[in-house]
Amino acid sequence: MRETAAERWSRRVILTLLSAFVLIPLYVMLTTALKPLRDVRDSFTWIPARPTFEAFVDMWSTVPLGRYLVNSLIVSTAAAVLSVAIAILAAYATSRWRFRGRSVFLASALSTQMFPGILFLLPLFLIYVNIGNATGIELYASRTGLVITYLTFSLPFSIWMLVGYFDAIPRELDEAAAVDGAGPMRILFRVLLPTAVPGILAVTVYAFMTAWGEVLFASVMTDENTRTVAVGLSGYSTQYDVYWNQIMAASLVVSVPVVAAFLFLQKYFVAGLTAGAVK
């Protein structure tokens, strides 16, 4: 099937436009981080006249970025690891057994995705405050509360992706292991988990990203000590000045590791989507 000249040229035009669309904000993020504040304040320039790393140094003291980063790391890692662990169990059950209520479980897990976060925010806020008053277990404004909340956000999607990966693993492998005398949990750990490692990693990164990027709950359910980066970045705008160069520098520091991990694992992500979506 030959490509016509018109097709080739439209392809080039589309790809150029899209690349520019994607790249311009990324370019501005990078170059602004390399400008001194007085250059950002006056007017926009495409090329930094006096490139400097000063923003990358100052950003740590303008705002307690280090503390916010630690909070984000703890909360996101805990939420990702727990959510994937719980999803693995649920996905194993859903992939390997036909039990009563199986499709109801899948459908209702998914339907939670349709609710706006704002719907849970007020009641959860009150529930957390009440649990704190009644039992002394601090959930409101604590990292634990955020972890519990975030892990349920990524849980349904993690379950669905993992069911896709597990379904792709031939049952003959399970059966062979069963013949060798392996029980169900042994089959999970010895057969399914090792085979699905790339998929599990992709889902973990997804769960991490969900928590890392969450704004709504982070803005209501944290205090000065537990604040995450998602909210912390707003600290760079004061009523006197907006430290755009530091905001961009901090944004880069916050984004680069997540983006790199995602892009590195993206082909497993696509594989998971295909497994789920096309069958």
Partner 1 sequence: MTTTVSAPDVAPSDAEPSPPRKRRRRPSLPYLLLVPAIVLELAVHVLPMLTGVWMSLRELTQFQIRDWSSAPFVGLDNYRVTLDFNSAIGKELLHSFWVTIAYTVLVVGLAWVIGLAAAVVLQRPFRGRALLRTLFLTPYALPVYTAVITWSFLLQRDTGALNHVLVDQLGLVDDRPFWLIGGNSFWSLVLVSVWRCWPFAFLCLMAGLQSVPQDLYEAAYMDGAGFWRRLRAVTLPMLRPVNQVLLLVLFLWTFNDFNTPYVLFGKGAPDEADLISIHIYESSFVTWNFGLGSAMSVALLLFLSVVSGLYLFLTRKARSDA
Which parts of 181-220 interact with partner 1 (CB under 8 A)?
Answer: 183-184, 206, 209-210, 212-213, 215-216, 219-220
Query: Which residue stretch of 54-62, 63-71, 144-152, 194-202 sits at the interface with partner 1 (rule: CB under 8 A)?
Result: 144-152
Q: Least Å distance between CB 13 and partner 1?
A: 10
DSSP code at position 80:
H
Dist CA 239 CA 170 (whole Å): 61
Q: Is 20 in the site for partner 1 (CB under 8 A)?
A: no
Does residue number 86 form part of the binding site for partner 1 (CB under 8 A)?
yes
Of 99 and 136, the one with the shorter C-beta distance to partner 1 is 99
Using CB atoms within 10 Å of the CB of residue 114, give its burial: 0 to 12 exposed, 13 to 18 middle, 19+ buried: exposed
Give yes or no for residue 224 binding partner 1 (CB under 8 A). no
Phi/psi class of residue 138: alpha, beta or left (left: φ > 0; alpha: ψ in -120 to 50)?
A: beta
Contact between 234 and partner 1 (CB under 8 A)? yes
Our finding on whether 235 is near partner 1 (CB under 8 A) is no
Residues 112-131 touching partner 1, rule: CB under 8 A, are 112-124, 126-127, 130
Of 140, 157, 243, 268, the one binding partner 1 (CB under 8 A) is 157
Q: Name the region of 136 (left: φ>0; alpha: ψ -120 to 50; beta: rest).
A: left
Q: Which of 37, 73, 106, 173 binds partner 1 (CB under 8 A)?
A: 106
In whole angstroms, how close is the CB of 154 to partner 1 at the nearest point? 6
Residues touching partner 1, count (CB under 8 A): 121
Q: Kindly list the distances between the CA atom of residue 170 and the CA atoms of 107, 161, 196, 273, in Å, as whole numbers in the listed order.
A: 24, 17, 12, 18
DSSP per-residue codes, 55-121: HHHHHHHHS-HHHHHHHHHHHHHHHHHHHHHHHHHHHHHHHH---TTHHHHHHHHHHGGGS-HHHHH
Q: Is 47 in the site for partner 1 (CB under 8 A)?
A: no
Binding-site member from 146, 163, 202, 203 for partner 1 (CB under 8 A): 163
